[in-house]
């Protein structure tokens, strides 16, 4: 008896034959039997019941059994057919085999013959169905394996990217691409929390967002739903009707938002969407959370890279500071050396004069030499203090330009007045913080004022003027009424020639050279230029970057 109630359709117009085959032989054996008397009814019944086996008389009135087989082939119906033929119709039976018949029975027949033929054909049907089922299952398994391979490949590439890519922009784009790949999303975006504004997230990467939204890159982003995940710290998935309450409804009909955590804090958010309402599966959610874990590792690595870079930059800055400190010290010591030689020569001349006539009184020339000796000793003392300050000071790149200019103006004012020069200081009432180390900026300004004192015309004016040019730049102008010939301007920032030294009006103190001043300014990303003033004087203009404190 058939355990699965196979369906058998009998197409026979003779009630005796149909009753014998259907009721006596097949129904009693447990088969589900349907009986019709013509081909037209048979086609209708086949469509309705999808029988497992058809037993058809070859000689039916109207359309024959062969016509039925032709119709089945035309409709793509592959149900096996056993034909019934009277003795002597072997030629027609052969034709039915050509049309696709599976077997034949000769009337009259015994019940055992019917059952054997039906069981044999149905066994083939069952085997064929099992093969088809196994093939489909194998195909589905292969597809699942291929999908897993693609997912694992994507995750593996994500791992390689995290360990090999140091460019954050490239890495963030890789993360959102992999997220969309493993979850079969149509579009997505990657948000990063601003460190100084914990509730603000910035769009750092995207995949297939509309062109109209690309201007939002590197800008604060609020899609109306990611903030919920930022607060809860849990993955959120929704589709269909619930998503219509949020602004992202214009982008798709299914969404999943995965938090990226570093030490239990939500530092970033991965968002993937589908344009259709198919929900994201639990497996896809797990894969996205794995991508989020890799993203978390990348953020930690990024912090480490930044710390290493900052340390390397600090060491480089220290090395540069030491290098420039040594240059300044060497220049100042060299200047002091030459100055001491000159003082020694002058003092020797005065001493010789006194030796010749001990009772003689000091003449004006001797008094002048004595004054120069006193000034020289003061300058030597100043240089000594400068060198000590250089070796003991700590680097600070947030220096108030206004304060230093005022202090330097006060320091050089007595010397300017002694030479009958005016020294005018014009600075804002508020601090102007520049990104230059204090000691270096002090020596730059000191060198420029010293230069101005040397070359300013008698009874001239030296002017120090500080202004803020923009939100990022400050300017210091040191001008004096002494003119510089055009043919000397190109070489002014190189070492002084003998002609330049002879052109000096007076001694202006001990300061670093214009060559070193220019080198220091360029080191701090600044600019220095030389212009002619309206009264045919000379103006040195220095532009320096404002410190981050000032910009903020």
What's the mean pLDDT in 254-277?
A: 90
The length of the chain is 552
CA–CA gap between residue 122 and residue 116 (Å, rounded)? 10
Mean pLDDT over all residues of the chain?
82
Confidence label for 310 from pLDDT (cuts 50, 70 and 90): low
- First-last CA distance in the chain: 90
What's the mean pLDDT in 159-178?
A: 77
Q: Which range (181-190, 353-362, 431-440) has the least confidence? A: 353-362
Res 175: pLDDT: 87
Q: Does position 384 have pLDDT exceeding 70, yes or no?
A: no
CATH 3.30.565.10 maps onto the chain at: 394-552
Q: Does position 22 have pLDDT exceeding 80, yes or no?
A: yes
Whether 399 and 438 have beta carbons less than 8 Å apart is answered as: yes
Res 80: pLDDT: 94
Q: Are strands 527-532 and 538-545 parallel, antiparallel or unpaired?
A: antiparallel
| b/e map 396-422, b = 16+ CB within 10 Å | ebbbbbbebbeebbeebeebbeebebe
Q: Which residues face 422 on adjacent strands?
A: 461
Q: Which residues face 272 on adjacent strands?
A: 188, 256
In the structure encoding, which two tokens stand for residue 140, read together?
Answer: 């589905």
Q: Does position 357 have pLDDT exceeding 70, yes or no?
A: no
Q: How far is CA 254 from the centre of its chain?
A: 25
Full DSSP string of 318-361: HHHHHHHHHHHHHHHHHHHHHHHHHHHHHHHHHHHHHHH-TTPP
In the structure encoding, which two tokens stand for residue 457, read together?
Answer: 């015309």
Class of CATH domain 163-303: alpha beta
Q: How many CB atoms lie within 10 A of CB 100?
A: 14
Q: Is 240 left (phi over 0), alpha (psi -120 to 50) or beta?
A: left
Q: Which of the listed ranges 151-165, 238-252, 288-302 does the model predict with the highest average pLDDT?
A: 238-252
Output 539 or 343, whichever has higher pLDDT.
539
CA–CA gap between residue 207 and residue 478 (Å, rounded)? 54
| b/e map 211-244, b = 16+ CB within 10 Å | eeeeeeeeeebebebbbebbeeeebebbbeeebe
Res 256: pLDDT: 94
pLDDT tens string 32-69: 999 999 999 999 999 999 999 999 999 888 888 889 99
Phi, psi at 510, each rounded to 5°: -110, 115
Q: What are the C-alpha distances in Å from 475 to residues 178, 196, 422, 518?
A: 49, 30, 21, 14
- The torsion defined by the Cα of 71, 72, 76 and 82, in degrees rounded to 10, comes to -150
- The torsion defined by the Cα of 391, 392, 398 and 400, in degrees rounded to 10, comes to -90
CATH 3.40.50.2300 maps onto the chain at: 7-132
92, with CB counted inside 10 A (0-12, 13-18, 19+), is middle
Q: If we measure between CA atoms, which residue out of 282, 256, 260, 279 comes closest to residue 269?
A: 260
The secondary structure of residue 546, as a DSSP letter, is B
Res 506: pLDDT: 73
Percentage with pLDDT > 90 across the chain: 29
Phi, psi at 407, each rounded to 5°: -65, -45
Q: Which helix (H) or strand (E) holds 259?
A: strand 254-262
Q: Is 281 left (phi over 0), alpha (psi -120 to 50) or beta?
A: beta
Q: Does position 77 have pLDDT exceeding 80, yes or no?
A: yes
The domain at 394-552 falls in which architecture? Answer: 2-Layer Sandwich (3.30)
Percentage with pLDDT > 70 across the chain: 77
pTM higher than the cut 0.75: no
Q: Which range (1-15, 48-62, 182-196, 443-457) has the least confidence? A: 1-15
Q: Which residues face 466 on adjacent strands?
A: 476
What's the mean pLDDT in 255-259?
A: 93
Res 121: pLDDT: 93
Res 164: pLDDT: 67
Res 79: pLDDT: 92
CATH topology of domain 7-132: Rossmann fold (3.40.50)
In the structure encoding, which two tokens stand for residue 412, read together?
Answer: 């050089």
Confidence label for 284 from pLDDT (cuts 50, 70 and 90): confident
Phi, psi at 507, each rounded to 5°: -80, 130
Res 3: pLDDT: 46
Q: Does position 1 have pLDDT exceeding 50, yes or no?
A: no
Confidence label for 475 from pLDDT (cuts 50, 70 and 90): very high
Whether 151 and 183 have beta carbons less than 8 Å apart is answered as: no
Confidence label for 126 from pLDDT (cuts 50, 70 and 90): very high
In the structure encoding, which two tokens stand for residue 305, read together?
Answer: 């890279």
Confidence label for 297 from pLDDT (cuts 50, 70 and 90): confident
Cβ-based neighbours of 393, under 8 Å, separated by 6 or more: 438, 439
Res 2: pLDDT: 45
Confidence label for 8 from pLDDT (cuts 50, 70 and 90): very high
CATH 3.30.450.40 maps onto the chain at: 163-303
What's the mean pLDDT in 328-343?
A: 66
């Amino acid at each position: 008896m058939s355990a699965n109630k196979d369906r058998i359709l009998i197409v026979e117009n003779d009630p005796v034959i149909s009753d014998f085959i259907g009721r006596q032989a097949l129904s009693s054996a447990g088969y589900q039997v349907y009986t019709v008397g013509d081909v037209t009814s048979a086609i209708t019944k086949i469509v309705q019941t999808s029988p497992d086996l058809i037993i058809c008389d070859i000689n039916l009135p109207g359309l024959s059994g062969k016509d039925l087989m032709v119709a089945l082939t035309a409709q793509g119906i592959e149900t096996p057919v056993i034909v019934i033929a009277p003795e002597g119709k072997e030629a027609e039976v052969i034709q039915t085999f050509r049309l696709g018949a599976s077997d034949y029975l000769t009337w009259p027949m015994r019940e055992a013959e019917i059952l054997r033929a039906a069981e044999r054909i149905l066994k083939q049907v069952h085997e064929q169905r099992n093969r088809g089922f196994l093939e489909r299952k194998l195909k589905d398994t292969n597809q699942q394996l291929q999908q897993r391979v693609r997912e694992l490949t994507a995750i593996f590439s994500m791992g390689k990217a995290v360990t090999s890519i140091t460019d954050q922009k490239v890495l963030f784009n890789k993360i959102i691409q992999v997220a969309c790949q493993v979850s079969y999303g149509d579009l997505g975006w990657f948000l990063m929390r601003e460190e100084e504004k914990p509730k603000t997230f910035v769009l750092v990467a995207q995949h297939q967002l509309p062109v109209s939204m690309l201007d939002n890159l590197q800008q604060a982003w609020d899609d109306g739903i990611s903030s919920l995940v930022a607060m809860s710290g849990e993955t959120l998935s929704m589709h269909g009707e619930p998503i219509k309450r949020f602004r992202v409804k214009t982008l798709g009909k299914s969404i999943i938002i995965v938090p990226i955590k570093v030490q239990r804090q939500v530092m970033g958010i991965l968002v993937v969407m589908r344009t259709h309402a198919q929900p994201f599966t639990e497996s896809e959610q797990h894969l996205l959370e794995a991508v989020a874990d890799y993203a978390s590792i990348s953020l930690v690595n990024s912090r480490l890279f930044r710390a290493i870079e900052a340390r390397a930059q600090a060491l480089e800055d220290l090395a540069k500071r030491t290098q420039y400190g040594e240059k300044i010290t060497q220049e100042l010591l060299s200047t002091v050396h030459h100055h001491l030689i000159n003082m020694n020569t002058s003092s020797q001349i005065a001493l010789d004069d006194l030796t010749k006539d001990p009772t003689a009184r000091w003449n004006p020339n001797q008094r002048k030499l004595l004054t120069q000796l006193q000034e020289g000793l003061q300058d030597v003392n100043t240089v000594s203090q400068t060198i000590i300050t250089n070796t003991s000071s700590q680097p600070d790149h947030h220096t108030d330009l206004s304060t230093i200019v005022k202090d330097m103006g006060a320091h050089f004012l007595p010397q300017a007045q002694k030479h009958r020069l005016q020294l005018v200081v014009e600075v804002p009432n508020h601090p102007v913080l520049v990104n230059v180390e204090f000691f270096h900026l002090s020596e730059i300004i000191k060198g420029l004022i010293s230069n101005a004192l040397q070359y300013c015309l008698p009874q001239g004016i030296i002017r120090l003027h500080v202004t803020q040019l923009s939100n990022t730049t400050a300017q210091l102008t040191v001008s004096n009424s002494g003119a510089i010939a055009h043919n000397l301007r190109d070489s002014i920032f190189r070492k002084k020639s003998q002609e330049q030294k002879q052109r000096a009006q007076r001694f202006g103190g001990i300061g670093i050279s214009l060559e070193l001043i220019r080198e220091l300014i360029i080191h701090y990303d600044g600019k220095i230029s030389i212009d002619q003033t309206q009264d045919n004087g000379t103006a040195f203009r220095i532009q320096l970057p404002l410190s981050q404190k000032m910009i903020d």
